[in-house]
């Protein structure tokens, strides 16, 4: 019995560790547990934690994820109180494909999508039959296709939208480009071999990619990354305060100074 009791205690301890401690929904004084991608989201949130949070009366615990799936899974399973890594079209597609209850709180910054090439200086220089890589997640894939259409490489079907299969989205491909979709974290490495790669901003920054051949316009851009929480915490004053801090003049100045108003831009 003693061994069985010890095993039960150990299992309970592991369960508490896996849950990440007390949630903000359970304790109104608990820190807000926020999941982020390391760059630039983690850097922005660490600035808030180190410089603004204490004066605002909130505590923040940061968990970093390198992929785009785990932060929403962790939020759904109660391991987080909020996350900050995605734009609303991605959240909408995730919710449609995988379910989950989420509440969009506020946009924070935009990472303009860009295409990079080590072989060519423009999309016009890409030869017939070349390979171009882009994201395999539906929201960012369609966003990448729109960028390539903007650059004149392809033409999309009028009815194409998020979730349309890659082969069904393209109306005209005059150079017979071979499109390959990869997980977003693999795209920076593909720049070495592909004629061009459409890379999400956070991974482009992390890989120190420079001199894109085309960059998405920030004007009326719907892809600002923002703070997301659960419906239960949507009106929590700590979440509201965190959103206020993330959109504060201090954070906007931090973003502009660190990334020069190019790779990362404060949301309007």
* 178 and 245 in a common domain: no
Claim to verify: residue 210 and residue 131 sit in the same structural domain: yes
Q: What is the pTM of this model?
A: 0.85
Predicted confidence band of residue 21 (pLDDT cuts 50, 70, 90) = low
Q: Which residues contact 48 (CB under 8 A, 6 or more apart)?
A: 60, 242, 245, 246, 251
Task: Please indicate whether residue 178 or residue 167 has the higher confidence score (pLDDT).
Answer: 178
Residue 106 backbone phi and psi in degrees, to 5: -165, 145
> Could you list the residue range(s) of the whole structural domain that residue 142 is in?
114-215
Looking at every residue in the chain, the average pLDDT score rounds to 91
Question: Does the residue 43 lie in any domain?
Answer: yes
Task: Give 26-58 pLDDT, tens digit per residue.
Answer: 888 899 999 999 999 999 999 999 999 999 999
* Average confidence (pLDDT) over 70-84: 97
Would 151 be classed as within a structural domain? yes
199 and 118 assigned to the same domain:
yes
Please check whether residue 59 lies inside any domain of the structure. Answer: yes
> Residues 35, 108: one domain?
yes
Whether residue 132 is found in the same domain as residue 169: yes
| Residues 78 and 211 occupy one common structural domain | no
Contact residues for 72 (Cβ-Cβ < 8 A; gap 6+): 83, 86, 91, 94, 98, 100, 102, 228
Where is the domain boundary, 174, 192, 215?
215
Domain harbouring 96, CATH code = 3.40.190.10
- The answer on pLDDT for 19 being more than 90 is no
To the nearest 10°, the Cα dihedral for 77, 183, 217, 125?
180
Residues 106 and 142 in one domain: no
Residues 37 and 81 grouped into a single domain? yes
79 and 97 fall within a common domain: yes
Q: Do 121 and 108 have their domain in common?
A: no
Question: What total number of domains does the chain contain?
Answer: 2
pLDDT tens-digit readout, 88-104: 999 999 999 999 999 99
Same structural domain, 107 and 126? no
Cis peptide before 40 (omega within 30 of 0): yes
pLDDT tens, position by position, 181-223: 999 999 999 999 999 999 999 999 999 999 999 999 988 899 9
């Amino acid at each position: 019995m003693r061994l069985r009791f010890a095993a039960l205690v150990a299992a309970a301890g592991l369960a508490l560790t896996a849950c990440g401690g007390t949630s903000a929904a359970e304790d109104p004084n608990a820190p807000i547990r926020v999941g982020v991608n390391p760059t630039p989201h983690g850097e922005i949130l660490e600035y808030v934690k180190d410089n603004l949070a204490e004066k605002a009366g909130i505590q923040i615990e940061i968990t970093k994820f390198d992929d785009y799936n785990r932060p929403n899974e962790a939020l759904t399973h109660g391991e987080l109180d909020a996350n900050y890594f995605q734009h609303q079209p991605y959240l909408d597609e995730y919710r449609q494909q995988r379910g989950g209850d989420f509440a969009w709180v506020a946009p924070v910054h935009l990472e303009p999508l860009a295409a990079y090439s080590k072989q060519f200086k423009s999309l016009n220089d890409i030869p017939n039959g070349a390979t171009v890589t882009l994201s395999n997640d539906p929201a960012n894939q369609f966003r990448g296709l729109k960028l390539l259409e903007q650059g004149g490489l392809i033409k999309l079907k009028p009815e194409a939208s998020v979730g349309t299969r890659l082969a069904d989205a393209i109306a005209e491909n005059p150079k017979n480009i071979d499109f390959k979709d990869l997980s977003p974290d693999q795209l920076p490495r593909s720049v070495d071999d592909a004629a061009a790669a459409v890379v999400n901003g956070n991974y482009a920054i992390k890989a120190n990619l420079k001199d894109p051949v085309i960059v998405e316009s920030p004007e009326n851009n719907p892809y600002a990354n923002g703070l997301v929480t659960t419906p239960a915490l949507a009106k929590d004053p700590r979440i509201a305060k965190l959103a206020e801090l993330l959109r504060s003049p201090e954070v906007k100045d931090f973003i502009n100074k660190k990334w020069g108003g190019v790779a990362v831009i404060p949301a309007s």
